[in-house]
Each structure stands twice: as C-alpha cells, then as structure tokens.
Structure 1
C-alpha cells in the first residue's frame, strides 16, 4: 500500500507536470505568433519598399503641377491686364466715332 503522503506528492507532481506542459504549450503558441508577426512585418517592409518609387513619382508630379498652376495664374493675370487695356482702347475708339458722327450730322445736315 502507498503512503498517503506519497500519494499526495504524486498527485502534486502530476498537477505540476500538467501545469508545466500547459505553460510549454502556451509558450510555443506565443513563439509561433511572434514568428508569424515577424513574417507579416517583413512583408509590410517589402511592400513599402516597392511603393517608394511610386510615391516619389507622385511627389514629383505634384510639384510639377504646382509650378504649372503658378505659371497659369501668371498668364491669366497678364491676359486680364491685356483685356482691360483693350477695353479702354475700345471705349476711346467708340467715343471718337460718336464725336465724328455728331460732327457729320451737325455740319452736313
């Protein structure tokens, strides 16, 4: 027959073994999760590296578009000044025509 103390010790050892095995399984799960995360981060780093050239090209295109918009704004201002000066020229010509018309009507009528 077994001693009750020995039986308790064996039961305690079995519980400890079960606990240790459970901890080992948990550690393996954590390790596999960390390895999987490492792989995901490597894939992410690779994707970012692949997109770097595209991002640089987009940045250059945005800068070029900004320069084009500024040049267009300058040209629009020049055109507006030209239209304004042409408008005054048209008004002056119209006034001269009215004066000649009045002189023509007064002296020839």
Structure 2
C-alpha cells in the first residue's frame, strides 16, 4: 500500500469496485433524489420571492397613485371650502343690502304717507 501511495505522488487512491453493494446504490439514488428535490424547492422559493418582489413593486406604484389622488382630492376640498365661505359671505352681504333697501323703501313710503296725510 505504501508503494502504491508513493507511486501516486503521495495521494491515496481508493479503488471503487464496480461491483458496488445494491444498498449503497440505493442510498446514492435516494441522496440524489433528495438533493434534486431540495434544488427544485430552492428554485420554487426563488421564483416565489421574485414574484413577491414584483407584486410589492406593483403595490408601491398603486400606493403612489392613491397618494396623488388623495392630494388632489384634499386640494379640491380646500378649494371648495374657500368657495363656500366666499359664497356665504356674499349671500350675507346681499341679504343685508336687501334689508337696507327694504328698510329705506318702507321709510320712504312712511314719509310719503305721513306728508300726504298731513
């Protein structure tokens, strides 16, 4: 054995007899199947992660669009509130002016009636 290891340059060679034990072959096959199964599972996990990444990118895009929509709606609400306030002020001014005109008309009629009666 030493002569064999010296002739191979210090390396030990193990002779794998081609007449391997059927149990060993079965174990090797099971190991290969297990390794292949694990590789397939890893590929499935990887593709699922990639798919989830895509879904999250789409979700981020939708959230951004919703943010823009909400900001526009908020701006419209503020504009509507301002317009409502201005409209209310204008209506109050109109009512005050109308009341003043009616009062003036009433006083005018009263004065005319008073002077006609006198």
TM-score normalised per structure 2: 0.58
Larger RCO of the pair (alpha carbons < 8 Å, separation 6+): 2
Q: Which residue of 2 aligns with 1:17?
A: none
2:71 aligned residue: 63
List alignment gaps of at least 5 residues for structure 2.
1-28
Q: CA deviation at 1:34?
A: 4.5
In structure 1, stretches of 5+ residues that fail to align are 1-20
Q: What are the Cα deviations for residues 34-88 of structure 1, in whole angstroms up to 9, with x where unaligned?
A: 5423322211111222343333222112112211211221121111111111111
Alignment match, 1:86: 94
Please give the alpha-carbon distance, in whole angstroms, between the structure 2 residues aligned to 1:46 and 1:76.
Answer: 45
Residues 21-100 of structure 1 mapped to structure 2, 5 A cutoff: 32-100=40-108
The structure in which a higher percent of residues are helix is: 1
Distance in structure 2 (CA, Å) of the matches to 1:27 and 1:92:
96
1:106 to 90, 94, 114: 114
Larger radius of gyration: 2
Q: Whole-Å Cα distance in 2 between the matches of residues 23 and 93 of structure 1? A: 103
Distance in 2 separating the partners of 1:99 and 1:22 = 112
